A and B are shown apart, each in its own frame.
Chain A
């Protein structure tokens, strides 16, 4: 597949043996720096300087190791490599292509080899790129344990990747928690890679149960989620998700609950459309040093079912690193929930809650906002703002390895959640009430750790500054989770 051409006949490069670890490193460090290092290595070996901006042309691309995977989706992934103008371009593009191939979820290790091209059709400055891929087995699975939300759970996963040769996969996950909560989900993923626009369609069925002792109820969900994800620019920075969710939710009362919560018990059906648009220019998910994230989501429930509302949420995060040892981070979240008609209910499960060790620190889970009889009722509008200053561990133990998983941080966060009636009239004062009255605020510091590059663990000592009599305060907090403020 593709054509070959070579210029420097003895130029053979194994740029990367590709393991996920190395991929991470690449993502976090300055990419160009990394490249230079690699190139320098090569230079030394060869004993001659390589001009990275040397003109080069990709004559031919090989993909080795394909068995089940269909050619068309591979072609769609690799064609962008032919656009490369010089050698530097080729390397950058090769990395991108490798990432794309990996995103297909069909391959284990992917190796890249670049060689000068040979043969009758070789152009003078042509190179030949070879991707060595390793297809995954038909069925993979695993058992793992997880601790989170004060509960330990066992997760059994099974995955059938690349079912029909075009990246389709079937996933199944079952988790059983120590507090007898079970989650089962089964999803079918179908990527559409044909055009330049990258679409992934996911359909999943799930059955989850969660307990919310802070609000006095537990919730049992059975539902269906169809998600279409696409990034129009193809770079992965701007992302849209269009989702449809139909969920049968049952609110189950706990022994002692406020009557207000009890009134909401019972089954309900939520049928909702959701649009999530995010622009993520951050360099890392958990400890970013630069770049910012803007995410806007809109949810409209009420297409059938008995739950009806419009919910808007905005999440902003921006990072700034003036010095190697100091990173400032500002995070802001806000949301607004409105009913659409009197026939449609809004359940307590749809409300916004604030507080928790990774949320509004200094308050217990769902620790602030409207409460009754010790149960948090939630509000229909909220905002929260947090300002962090991160530094690496003092004296940098375990630098470039284990020590980089930890950071110290100091923060000040604040926010408010309340029931808010939006007035369209020019009642500015009334509408700004949520930002002025009963604002909660806390300062603190602690240690944060990243966990598998997706989760975050924090241990903080916090001092609440502003709070309301009803709020549940916590001075010492330990939190683990995927999302954070």
Chain B
């Protein structure tokens, strides 16, 4: 049976009949040499979301993940017979299987969460796309090298050009292409302010338990604040903007610690760490949500061949 794409609600009805949970494979570009800022943020967000749901998954890096994805965007997950890409669709899909992070919220609160997801998806992604593909310094020093790294010469130049054209077209439509770097930083700052104010003093956006927004914000804050200091100054400007919001950094590191067991952010926000360290005890059950050792390549192949 071919792999249907998650297109409309009819397939959603059908898929509920499949046994659950199933093995989830997450496809994404190579993290070390290939992945770019927006993709990285999305991949981290999806990973965090799946972890928060307590679902086991296996990360499969592919150089052509973008082209394999049914929507042309990464990451995408393969779950049984289905391929689902984009954060929103993955959330809907997992939700249809009965695992949801926002079930306990009131309808009004859920609506707010959706709005914040839109906010993050638009402002951060566009800002990230802008830095990667419009800002000349980053484009030449980082983006072109990384994006082209998996293709042979002269294909890398052509594909870089093609991708840039596509991104610029999109940013133009959304009114981002003509912004200056300052304006982009302002947008990011506004967005961060909004998020930070929404967060107020609580651990997560909607109280004690993390929701989808937390995963998404984590992905972007993590990707934006993690940027290597050796990178061009323009990128660092954005990083500095994000660093101005200790609440968000703390929130991201909390999720990182509790759900992803990584200390990536520790160095970035050591100075805010002291305040939150006492809360760690609250969340130390998270040790149990560690990923199972991934299945070997071979056993996966067999699964595919004998569905």
Q: Name A's B-contacting residues (CB within 8 A).
A: 216, 248, 250-253, 255-260, 262-263, 265-269, 304-306, 372-375
A/B interface sample: 24 pairs, CB < 8 A: A216-B2, A252-B67, A253-B70, A255-B70, A256-B2, A256-B4, A256-B5, A257-B3, A259-B83, A260-B304, A262-B3, A262-B68, A262-B83, A263-B64, A263-B68, A265-B67, A265-B68, A266-B63, A266-B66, A267-B64, A267-B67, A267-B159, A269-B152, A372-B305
Also in contact, A258 and B3, with CB within 8 A (given A253-B67, A265-B64): yes
Q: Which of B4-55 contact A (CB under 8 A)?
A: 4-5
Pairs of residues from A and B, 5 with the lowest C-beta to C-beta distance, nearest first:
A266-B64, A266-B67, A256-B2, A265-B67, A269-B155
A373 touching B1 by the CB < 8 A rule? yes
10 further A-B contacts with Cβ under 8 Å, apart from A259-B78, A263-B68, A306-B151, are A256-B5, A259-B3, A259-B83, A259-B304, A262-B68, A265-B64, A266-B66, A269-B151, A304-B152, A373-B3
Q: By CB atoms of chain B within 10 A, which of A216, A251, A260, A373 has the most?
A: A373
Q: By CB atoms of chain A within 10 A, which of B63, B152, B159 has the most?
A: B152
Question: What interface size band does chain B fall in?
Answer: 20 to 34
Bound CA span A260–B78, Å: 13
Q: By CB atoms of chain B within 10 A, which of A250, A265, A266, A372 has the most?
A: A266
B302: min CB distance to chain A, Å: 13
Residues of chain B within 8 A (CB-CB) of A250 are: 67
Bound CA span A304–B154, Å: 9
B21: min CB distance to chain A, Å: 19
Residues of chain B within 8 A (CB-CB) of A251 are: 67
Bound CA span A255–B159, Å: 23
Residues of chain B within 8 A (CB-CB) of A266 are: 63-64, 66-68
Closest to A246 in B: B154
A282: min CB distance to chain B, Å: 41
Bound CA span A198–B70, Å: 51
Also in contact, A255 and B158, with CB within 8 A (given A266-B66, A266-B67, A304-B153): no
Q: Name B's A-contacting residues (CB within 8 A).
A: 1-5, 62-64, 66-68, 70, 78, 83, 151-155, 158-159, 304-305
A362: min CB distance to chain B, Å: 25
B67 touching A306 by the CB < 8 A rule? no
The residue that B2 contacts in the complex, of A263, A265, A306, A373, with Cβ under 8 A, is A373
Bound CA span A266–B153, Å: 16
A234: min CB distance to chain B, Å: 39
Residues of chain B within 8 A (CB-CB) of A265 are: 64, 67-68
Residues of chain A within 8 A (CB-CB) of B4 are: 256
Residues of chain B within 8 A (CB-CB) of A253 are: 67-68, 70
Bound CA span A43–B254, Å: 107
A306 touching B78 by the CB < 8 A rule? no
Bound CA span A253–B2, Å: 12
Bound CA span A117–B16, Å: 94
Q: By CB atoms of chain A within 10 A, which of B3, B154, B304 has the most?
A: B3
Also in contact, A255 and B5, with CB within 8 A (given A248-B155, A305-B152, A306-B152): yes
Bound CA span A253–B154, Å: 23
Residues of chain B within 8 A (CB-CB) of A267 are: 64, 67, 151, 155, 159
A374 touching B155 by the CB < 8 A rule? no
B242: min CB distance to chain A, Å: 32
Bound CA span A253–B71, Å: 10
B2 touching A374 by the CB < 8 A rule? yes
B209: min CB distance to chain A, Å: 35
A248 touching B158 by the CB < 8 A rule? yes
A54: min CB distance to chain B, Å: 65
Bound CA span A252–B64, Å: 11
Q: By CB atoms of chain A within 10 A, which of B4, B68, B83, B159 has the most?
A: B68
Residues of chain B within 8 A (CB-CB) of A216 are: 2
A340: min CB distance to chain B, Å: 15
Residues of chain B within 8 A (CB-CB) of A373 are: 1-3
A251: min CB distance to chain B, Å: 8
Bound CA span A375–B3, Å: 11
Closest to B67 in A: A266
The residue that A257 contacts in the complex, of B2, B158, B159, with Cβ under 8 A, is B2
Closest to B62 in A: A263
Residues of chain B within 8 A (CB-CB) of A255 are: 5, 70
A335: min CB distance to chain B, Å: 25
A374: min CB distance to chain B, Å: 6
Closest to B64 in A: A266
B153 touching A258 by the CB < 8 A rule? no
Residues of chain A within 8 A (CB-CB) of B305 are: 372
Residues of chain B within 8 A (CB-CB) of A262 are: 3, 68, 83
Residues of chain B within 8 A (CB-CB) of A304 are: 152-153
Residues of chain B within 8 A (CB-CB) of A256 are: 2-5
Bound CA span A305–B155, Å: 8
Bound CA span A306–B64, Å: 13
Residues of chain B within 8 A (CB-CB) of A375 are: 2
